[in-house]
Structure 1
Amino acid sequence: MSDSTRTALESCLRQLKCHFTWNLVEGGQSLAEFEDEVCNPARFQNHEFRATVFNLRAYIEHRRGRGEAALEHLRRAEALIQREHAEQAGTRSLVTWGNYAWVYYHLGRLADAQRYVDKVRRVCKKFRSPYRMESAELDFEEGWARLQCGGRHNEKAKVCFEKALEKEPKNPEFASGLAVASYRLDTRPQPQNPVDPLRRAIRLNPDNQYAKVLLALKLQKLKDEGEGDRLVEEALKGAPCASDVLCGAAELYQRKGALDKAAELLTKALEGTPNDAYLHWNIGCLYRTKVLEMLQDAGKNETGKRERLQEAIGQAVHHLKRAEEAGANLPCVCSYLACLHAQAGQYDDAEHFFQKEFSKELSPGARQVLHLRYGNFQLYQLKNEDKAIHHFIQGMKIDQESKENEKMKNKLRKIACIRLSKNKGDAMALHLLAFLQELSGDVCPADDNSESRLDSGSFLYSASFAEE
């Protein structure tokens, strides 16, 4: 292929509407983080856009330098489109063909790349467009791809579905996409009430079980739990093995405090993908929450409580270890395991996972939480006050206002007061008080009995077990 022909091919490739031209990996986001987002089983793994998932996996495989694996995913996407959308196969295949062209181009197989560019051109030519066209199906495909990627893509996804619905206002697939995007954007600074889009999606497709679960979750927030409970039961009956439906229903029951039911649903979702890191993570965190609740009720002398506590710790450790071993980019998994092992009296294992967490690249907030947890471990389990003081100070030196910061202030102040009550000239105690005074002046007690969430999109708690 001559230089001029190659340049012309590159120009055509840039005009295609496909995953290679949509800028799906956000700035600052690693490929591992992107893959974790895309492969989350709670994100529509059981719906009509399975071709979208294959295309996304092809894009990821290409980015990892595995071109042949990328081509295999594209073959699966193309076969699915031919089987399920035979009448619209040409239009529906445009994104997949665009991806084919880009993968072949990067593999150096320029003739194959040109062949797929020509396939796109032949379809678009019918609509008087060279290599891209305005199509409801293309808007739909881009919308689902962006929804699968999450994050800041949700706003663009919503626009894609709105454009598609302008062309076909009664299309149930397009309505479903808009409903999911609206639900995702409901937590933004300017909330967008998703109730009407979700009801519209269900009205156009009464078998849309995932939309029913999302509507139930929204109604739960609006304190209309009666209809929500009915919708979840209906969705579970209609799609008893769909992982996205099971994960959504589990979130609803977790919010109600029915942790056993939530764990049961997630365990059922795990049957289809027994090695899925995200499901193990969510189940492990549910059991971790049970452990926290049992510890908070420590004053109650219930028969068999110790056995139930040990069982919950064992289940939490088992699932979190499975998640950690899978190598997924999950927050705090090692420090969760460390705290659980510490609670079980397995201090060597706790130390191992704490150090593993310290070795990671953490955000300032996550590192501050880790210093609090490790300081608690040193103070309460290992009785090493000097190491605890060191980590509380290191955590406070991180410029991050938080409940964890207040907890560390209070702990240092209490340690100082206890030491001074024994020796008014205690040098360490006087140093601590001077340090606290220099940082923020008078230190007010913080509420050590509260739990805080790492982010609004998760139903997983983050706090140390050894809080006072």
Structure 2
Amino acid sequence: MSDILENSLMDHLQKLQCHFTWDLHGEDVDIDNVEERVNDQLVYLPDALKHRMYNLLAYLKHLKGDHEEAMIQLQKAEAQIQESNISEDTDVRRTVMYGNFAWVFYHQNQFTESSTYAEKAETILKQYESPPEKNTLLSDIYGEQGWTYLSFIGKYYQQAVECFEKALELSPEDPELNSGHAMAVYRLEMLSFSSNNTENKSVPLLERAVRLNPRDTVVKVLLALKYLDMKNYDQGAILIEQALQEQPESPYVLRYVAKCYIKNRRINEAIAMFKKVLSLTPNSSSVHYELAKCYKILIKMPTCYNKQQKSEAIENAIFHLEKAVALNRLFVPAHILLAQVYIKGNQHQKSKVVFDKTLIMNNISPEQKQELNLSWAQHLKNSRRSKSEAVRHYKEVIEIQSLSLFRETAIKELESLAETIIVQNPMDATGHALLGYIHQQRGQDI
């Protein structure tokens, strides 16, 4: 193919709506981990959604440079669309898939086939140029884009929200789109590190999603979690019971039920539930992480009243966190928690290695940098290893201009440290200098 024709084809490809044009970056995620999660979804989620998962798997295979396997996944997507009993015109659901086909053929240097599939996608777009058909087509495309963003990492959740909002403008009563929108807003709220985060925007969205699709047990349990946060314990318990009766073997339901147990301080029941989830999805880094968080809670509880029980809880937490980071090398929260638990197990050198490694990860957020520095500062202060190093890390937290709980805690800890220094030696300029620094930082926050 001449350069002119190849450039012309590329112009067509870049105008297609598909995974290759949605600005998804492989370096943002552990591709193997995302692939594992999507394969789990293929087992446990409804058949009507599987063509989307095959589309995403095809793109993940492309990111790994395996275009033959990408083609196989797209063929599975096509077969799934053909076999499923979908009331809408199946061409709507082929649009994204044809775009992916065109791109995969292009990367295989099969330009004629690439052009053919690009034309197939464009033909569907032309067939659906007028409402209401256009609304049906665009809402499906925006929906698939939204679910794709939700399958990556937190930095894409805001884009997922925006995609679902666009889709809902066109199909406001669609149950699946309402569920996706509610889940995306819920996840954004869970990512918030704000010190005054009292918003519960996801609650009415989850309530609406449950009304429109009462069989969606996942949104039921997410709503239950929100109700528990709001101390609406009776309504939360009802939803949990309903979800367990409807899908007692769904790992997605069980893991959120386990989180409900945590909120009710039923930690041993949560551990048992997460272990059941792990038996269903053994390579889930997030379930290993959740188990580790349970063991960390146990470490602080009166039930760990003797040295052996505390030691066992620490060992279990470390085991599951090491599994989590092995399964997902870019799992920042698991790295942070591992550094913290290593400290509790007096494995300070291992903690420092994880600490240093995590701080330079490309996908670590400002708030996560704050949390990591705060943890290390607390360790240095409490172990009395180095007061000056503790001060340096508290300042690292404070100078990241994100008004989070971590920053607020660092300011209070540094202020307490300064006052202790002054009480011990009123003539020590260090304490007064620190108070001046804190005053200056608080003045900038106003």
TM-score, normalised by the number of residues in structure 2: 0.78
Question: Bigger shift: 63-72 or 88-97?
Answer: 63-72
* Structure 2 residue identity aligned to 1:223: K
Structure 1 residue 157, shift from structure 2 partner: 2.7
* In structure 2, distance between residues paired with 1:114 and 1:274: 41
User: Is 1:241 equivalent to 2:238 in the alignment?
Assistant: no
Does structure 1 retain, via aligned residues, the 8 Å contact 2:161–2:181? no
Cα distance change, pair 402–30 in 1 and its aligned pair in 2 (3 A): farther
Aligned equivalent of 1:432: 430
Match of 2:375 among 365, 373, 376: 373
Aligned equivalent of 1:158: 164
* In structure 1, distance between residues paired with 2:337 and 2:388: 21
Does structure 2 retain, via aligned residues, the 8 Å contact 1:16–1:98? yes
How far does the alpha carbon of each residue in 1:412-434 deviate from its partner, in whole angstroms, 9 at most, with x for none?
5425644x3xxx87xxxx25224
Aligned equivalent of 2:240: 232
Alignment of 1:82-231 (within 5 A): 82-85=82-85, 88-124=89-125, 126-127=127-128, 134-136=134-136, 138-150=138-150, 151-166=157-172, 169=173, 171-181=174-184, 183=186, 194=202, 197-231=205-239
Structure 1 residue 103, shift from structure 2 partner: 1.9
Cα distance change, pair 52–306 in 1 and its aligned pair in 2 (3 A): same
Aligned equivalent of 2:22: 22
Match of 1:47 among 42, 45, 48: 45
* Structure 2 residue identity aligned to 1:50: K
User: Is 1:72 equivalent to 2:72 in the alignment?
Assistant: yes
Which of the two has greater helix per residue? 2
Does structure 1 retain, via aligned residues, the 8 Å contact 2:51–2:76? yes
Alignment of 1:1-40 (within 5 A): 1-24=1-24, 30-32=27-29
Cα distance change, pair 105–439 in 1 and its aligned pair in 2 (3 A): same
User: Is 1:282 equivalent to 2:290 in the alignment?
Assistant: yes
Structure 1 residue 274, shift from structure 2 partner: 1.2
* In structure 1, distance between residues paired with 2:110 and 2:346: 59
Does structure 1 retain, via aligned residues, the 8 Å contact 2:77–2:97? yes
Does structure 1 retain, via aligned residues, the 8 Å contact 2:146–2:164? no
Aligned equivalent of 2:258: 250
Aligned equivalent of 1:268: 276
Structure 1 residue 321, shift from structure 2 partner: 0.8
**Structure with greater Cα Rg:** 1
* In structure 2, distance between residues paired with 1:162 and 1:303: 49
Aligned equivalent of 1:405: 411
Question: Bigger shift: 64-73 or 255-264?
Answer: 64-73
User: Is 1:395 equivalent to 2:394 in the alignment?
Assistant: yes
How far does the alpha carbon of each residue in 1:353-391 deviate from its partner, in whole angstroms, 9 at most, with x for none?
44444554655554444444334444544x53xx34223
* In structure 1, distance between residues paired with 2:207 and 2:338: 41
* In structure 2, distance between residues paired with 1:121 and 1:42: 30
- Contiguous gaps of at least 5 residues in structure 2: 151-156, 401-406
* In structure 2, distance between residues paired with 1:289 and 1:252: 14
Alignment of 1:305-454 (within 5 A): 305-357=306-358, 360=361, 363=365, 365-381=367-383, 383-384=384-385, 387-396=386-395, 399-400=399-400, 401-415=407-421, 417-418=423-424, 420=425, 430-440=428-438
State the secondary structure of the residue aligned to 2:245.
helix
Does structure 1 retain, via aligned residues, the 8 Å contact 2:374–2:393? no
* In structure 2, distance between residues paired with 1:366 and 1:437: 25
* In structure 1, distance between residues paired with 2:204 and 2:440: 50
Aligned equivalent of 2:153: none
State the secondary structure of the residue aligned to 1:152.
helix
* In structure 1, distance between residues paired with 2:118 and 2:261: 49
Cα distance change, pair 156–76 in 1 and its aligned pair in 2 (3 A): same
Cα distance change, pair 92–432 in 1 and its aligned pair in 2 (3 A): same
Cα distance change, pair 409–66 in 1 and its aligned pair in 2 (3 A): farther
Cα distance change, pair 37–257 in 1 and its aligned pair in 2 (3 A): farther
State the secondary structure of the residue aligned to 1:283.
helix
How far does the alpha carbon of each residue in 1:238-269 deviate from its partner, in whole angstroms, 9 at most, with x for none?
22232322232222222222222222222222
Cα distance change, pair 198–435 in 1 and its aligned pair in 2 (3 A): closer
* In structure 2, distance between residues paired with 1:360 and 1:52: 30
Does structure 1 retain, via aligned residues, the 8 Å contact 2:414–2:434? no
State the secondary structure of the residue aligned to 1:223.
coil
Cα distance change, pair 353–179 in 1 and its aligned pair in 2 (3 A): closer
Does structure 2 retain, via aligned residues, the 8 Å contact 1:95–1:138? no
Structure 1 residue 194, shift from structure 2 partner: 5.0
Structure 1 residue 322, shift from structure 2 partner: 0.6
* In structure 2, distance between residues paired with 1:431 and 1:35: 53
Cα distance change, pair 434–39 in 1 and its aligned pair in 2 (3 A): farther
Cα distance change, pair 197–439 in 1 and its aligned pair in 2 (3 A): closer
Cα distance change, pair 354–413 in 1 and its aligned pair in 2 (3 A): farther
* Structure 1 residue identity aligned to 2:108: L
Structure 1 residue 95, shift from structure 2 partner: 0.9
Cα distance change, pair 440–218 in 1 and its aligned pair in 2 (3 A): closer
- Calculate percent identity across the aligned residue pairs: 25
TM-score, normalised by the number of residues in structure 1: 0.75
* Structure 1 residue identity aligned to 2:161: E
How far does the alpha carbon of each residue in 1:132-158 deviate from its partner, in whole angstroms, 9 at most, with x for none?
x72525523432432442421233233
Structure 1 residue 110, shift from structure 2 partner: 0.7
State the secondary structure of the residue aligned to 1:17.
coil
Cα distance change, pair 190–89 in 1 and its aligned pair in 2 (3 A): farther
Structure 1 residue 344, shift from structure 2 partner: 2.9
Aligned equivalent of 2:403: none
* Structure 2 residue identity aligned to 1:324: V
* In structure 2, distance between residues paired with 1:366 and 1:122: 46
* In structure 2, distance between residues paired with 1:271 and 1:123: 43
